Structure 1
Amino acid sequence: MSTRLLAQQLNLIETIPVNKPLMEGHCVQTFDYLIFLDFEATCWDRYDRTKGSAEIIEFPAVFYDLRQHKILKEFQEYVMPTERPKLSEFCNKLTGITQKQVDKGVPLQTSLLLFTRWLQELTTKYNLTFDSTDMRKKRCALVTWSDWDLGTCLESECRRKQIRKSEIFNKWINLRALYEEYYNRRPLGLNGALLDVGLTFEGKQHCGLDDAKNTAFLARKMVSDGVLLRITKELTIN
């Protein structure tokens, strides 16, 4: 008689039930909600000699329920660039954002304030926390497709313009990093990643709000495939 069979007969082995979702590839996530960000910024053709530093011109976000797998709220503000106020033709064609929209937009500092107020309303309504140690509340995290939005674009512009941003923007989930780690391949942008997993981009590429929504759709697919979402980047606060 095998050791395992003998142990079973003597009730020395405990059988632990496994939830069906786990067997299908799902894994238990540590977050309850996610906020997807995807900035659009001033840009130029590679040969344009008038190019400058990138300034955010669209500030979008979507609030996503990871348990119900759906978007609950949306946020979008067009932002007025101040260093290079006139958009390049290349930027207009790529993003679809018009000069009129940014001229009527708000300064970056104001957009950050409006986003913070939007986030405060969500925090109160859904009992959110961005602190992993507070077990009494629902955990939430910022998510971007790469480190560029929060690690380069927003960080650099705030430093140049001496704008103080919330500490919330200092850590996030880089979905691309988790994608490359799990699937062991480098996708050709967000659209390429969607196509690789059998999804189709919905809306207009390089529209920040549509990009944020599609990043959420990709995350939903990744979670169903068994990807465990975690914070991948945290800026050092000087």
Structure 2
Amino acid sequence: MAIVFFSRFPLLRRFPVSSPALPYSSSIQLNRRITISASISTAEESTSSSSSLIQHTLSRTRWKPMCLYFTQGKCTKMDDPMHIDKFNHNCSLEFMQNAARLENLRQQEFEYFLVLDLEGKVEILEFPVLLFDAKTLDVVDLFHRFVRPTKMHEERINQYIEGKYGKLGVDRVWHDTAVPFAEVIEQFEVWLSERQLWRNELGVCLNNAAFVTCGNWDLKTKVPQQCSVAGMKLPPYFNEWINLKDVFLNFYKRRAPGMLSMMRELQIPLSGSHHLGIDDSNNIARVIHHMLTDGALLQITAKRNPRSPEKVEFLFKNRII
């Protein structure tokens, strides 16, 4: 894989898939040779002007669940009309752009937002990240992995997954695709590097991008815990993030303690299954879309001390505890 060097030029607005989806098998192991085909993207390039935003409208069709093999680059049924009709294979948000609302847009500090919503209380079970373009107001790519617990025996894992994903009907997909957390992070770093969002040699913050979470738990608590369990150092790009709850509170002057309450306040209908990480990330992206068109500015709300990772500074005076 070629080494990617940063430049002062902005990233491309789209990240086209460069090779076919990986063949699926129940024992597949994605390794250091992971390719861009393991991520999802739309193929067209778009401009960043307001006029292109107005013209970039997506026809509203009946809602379909996301193909969870596709989100991980493992769908082998792309040529099956029945499968395509049943499942969604597009990470783009389903929104009709409103020209009047676009007048409220503000220049953001970051070009991209990495929308993250982890699942799993004992250990992380799902690691979904949507790449949201702050200028086109759309999801342009995603990284999604199911995560196999590091320190659980098989019987406990089965109970854990049945309790978490069985009721959502996606436990089979989890068992077919889940990989250990350390492997997930290795693949994620390749994904970041390919998109010029981070480079291991620099070992610092993200490049013109920021994580957005619904609360502090994901990056303040859970990722450090999981890194400890997996016997690995906390990657430096997890040292700062935007807690959307705090931005919401300071922008609208209204408390919304969770994703569902934010959606109710903004009159956004829930899409997909609540507590399926990839669906929750999509719903958070829809909240971000609405807030940006209202004129919100998404700023870093929390920073971790690199020398003392357990110490986190919260930057907003008014925040959700």
TM range (shorter): 0.7 to 0.9
Residues 1:86 and 2:134 aligned together:
no
- Is contact 1:33-1:139 (8 Å) kept? yes
Equivalent-residue separation in structure 1 for 2:168 and 2:151 (angstroms): 19
- Quote the offset at 1:82 in angstroms: 2.6
Other-structure match for 2:300: 231
- Give 1 or 2 for the bigger CA radius of gyration: 1
Give the 3-state SS of the residue equivalent to 2:232 in structure 1: coil
Match of 1:112 among 179, 185, 190: 185
Is residue 73 of structure 1 aligned with residue 73 of structure 2?
no
The aligned counterpart of 2:247 is 178
Q: Secondary structure at the match of 1:60?
A: strand
Contact 1:81 1:102 in 2 (8 A): no
Deviation at residue 202 of structure 1 after TM alignment: 1.7
What amino acid is aligned across from residue 63 of structure 1 in structure 2?
L
Q: Which runs of 5+ in 1 are unaligned?
A: 1-19, 44-53, 125-129, 133-137
- In the superposition, the TM-score normalised over structure 2's length comes to 0.56
Q: How many angstroms apart in 1 are the aligned matches of 2:230 and 2:179?
A: 15
CA contact (8 A) 1:22 1:28 kept: no
Deviation of 1:94 after TM superposition, in Å, equals 6.2
What residue number does 1:141 align with?
210
Measured against aligned partners, the alpha-carbon deviations of 1:87-114 in whole angstroms (never above 9, x if no partner) come to 3343235665426624741100000011
Correspondence list, 1:43-62, <5 A:
43=121, 54-62=122-130
User: How much does 1:172 deviate?
Assistant: 0.7
The question of whether the paired residues in 2 share the 8 Å contact of 1:40 and 1:57 is answered with yes
Aligned partners of 2:196, 2:169: CA distance in 1, in Å? 32
Distance 1:95 1:150 in 2: 25
8 Å Cα contact 1:87/1:99 also seen in 2: no
**Runs of 4+ displaced beyond 4 Å:** 20-24, 93-97
Q: Deviations over 1:106-130 (max 9, x none)?
A: 1000000111111111117xxxxx8
Q: Matches of 1:171 and 1:232 in 2, distance apart?
A: 8
User: Could you tell me how far 1:131 is from its partner in structure 2?
Assistant: 5.2
Match in the other structure for 1:48: none
Q: Which is bigger in relative contact order (C-alpha 8 A, separation at least 6)?
A: 1
Establish whether residue 187 from structure 1 lines up as the match of residue 256 from structure 2. yes
In 2: Cα distance, 1:211 partner to 1:23 partner = 25
Identity %: 29
CA offsets, 1:35-86, max 9 Å, x none? 1111111x4xxxxxxxxxx211111111111101111101111110133333
What number of residue pairs does the alignment pair up? 200
1:107-164 Cα distance to aligned partner (Å, 9 max, x none): 000000111111111117xxxxx859xxxxx721111111111111111121233212
Moved more, 147-156 or 161-170: 161-170
Give ranges in structure 2 of 5+ residues lacking alignment: 1-98, 198-203, 309-321
Could you tell me which residue of structure 1 aligns to residue 221 of structure 2?
152
Identify, as 1 or 2, the structure richer in helix: 1
- Opposite residue 245 of structure 2, the aligned amino acid is R
